Structure 1
Amino acid sequence: MLYGSIEAGGTKFVCAVGDENFNVIDQTQFPTTTPDETLARTIKYFKKFDHIDAFGIASFGPIDVDKNSETYGWIIKTPKKGWSNIDFLGKMKENFDVPMYWTTDVNGSAYGEYVVAKKNDENIKSVSYMTIGTGIGMGAVINGDFLGVAGTPEFGHIKVRRHRDDMDFKGTCPWHGDCLEGLASGPTFEARDGVEGIKTPVGDPKWDIVAYYVAQAVVDLTVTFRPNKIVLGGGVCTPEFVDKVRAQFTLLFNNYLNVGSLEKYITRPEIPHNGSATYGDFVLAQKAIDEAANI
Structure 2
Amino acid sequence: MANESSYYAGLDIGGTTVKAVLVNHLSEQVGPLTEVRSMVKNGYETTFGQLDQALDQLAAGAGIEKSAIAGIGLDVPAPSSDGVIWGQANLGSDWVGTDIRGKLSERTGVPVYMTNDGNAAALGEYALRRKHFGSLLLVAPGTGLGGGLVLPGGRGYEGANGMALEVGHISVPFREDDGELPTCSCGLKGCAEAWVSLVALRRRLRLELAKPEWTTHPLNEGDTPVEEKAFKLRDFAEKGDQLAVQIFKQQGYILGYAIADMVRTVDPGLVVIGGGLAETTFRDQYMEWIGEGFAERAWPVYRNSPLDPDKVTTQFEWASGGDAAAAIGMAYTARELFGEV
Fold shared per TM-score above 0.5: yes
Which position in structure 1 is the counterpart of 2:254? 213
Give the unaligned 5+ runs of structure 1.
65-71
Partners of 1:172 and 1:275 lie apart in 2 by 28
> Conserved in 1, the CA contact under 8 Å of 2:175 and 2:181?
no
Q: Partner of 2:17 in structure 1?
A: 12
Q: Over residues 16-57 of structure 1, what are the superposed CA-to-partner deviations in whole Å (9 max), with x where a residue is unaligned? A: 333334214141142444234333212233245422211111
C-alpha distance 257-170 of structure 1, shift in aligned 2 (>3 A): closer
Structure of greater Rg: 2
Question: Structure 2 counterpart of 1:231, which letter?
Answer: V
Size of the alignment, in residue pairs? Answer: 280
Corresponding residue of 2:170: 158
> For residues 89 and 182 of structure 2, what CA distance do their matches in structure 1 show?
18
- Which ranges in structure 2 are unaligned for 5 or more consecutive residues? 1-5, 60-65, 207-225, 305-310
Aligned-residue CA RMSD (Å): 2.7
Partners in 1 of 2:83 and 2:275 — Cα distance?
A: 24
More helix by share: 2
Deviates more, 1:273-282 or 1:216-225: 273-282
Matched, 1:94 2:106: yes
SS of the equivalent of 1:25 reads coil
Aligned to 1:82: 92
1:197 CA drift (Å): 4.0
Give the superposition deviation at 1:167.
4.2
Q: 1:81 to 1:100 in 2, by over 3 A?
A: closer
Q: Do the aligned residues in 2 keep the contact of 1:129 with 1:140 (CA within 8 Å)?
A: yes
Specify whether residues 142 and 254 from structure 1 end up closer, same or farther in structure 2 by C-alpha distance, changes over 3 A only: closer
Structure 1 position 223 matched with structure 2 position 261: no
Report if the CA contact (8 A) 2:295-2:303 is conserved: no
Distance, in Å, in 2 between the alignment partners of 1:257 and 1:94 is 46
Moved more, 53-62 or 195-204: 195-204
Write the letter of the residue equivalent to 1:25: G
Alignment identity in percent?
A: 22
> CA–CA distance in 1 between the matches of 2:91 and 2:114?
21
Match 1:120 to one of 127, 131, 147: 131
Q: Are 2:149 and 1:149 equivalent residues in the alignment? A: no
Deviation readout 1:101-125 (Å, 9 max, x if unpaired): 21221212212222333x334xx41
Indicate if the aligned counterparts of 1:99 and 1:288 stay in contact, CA closer than 8 A: no
Aligned counterpart, 1:285: 334
Q: What are the superposed Cα offsets for residues 106-148 of structure 1, whole Å, 9 maximum, x if unpaired?
A: 212212222333x334xx4111111211122221112233222
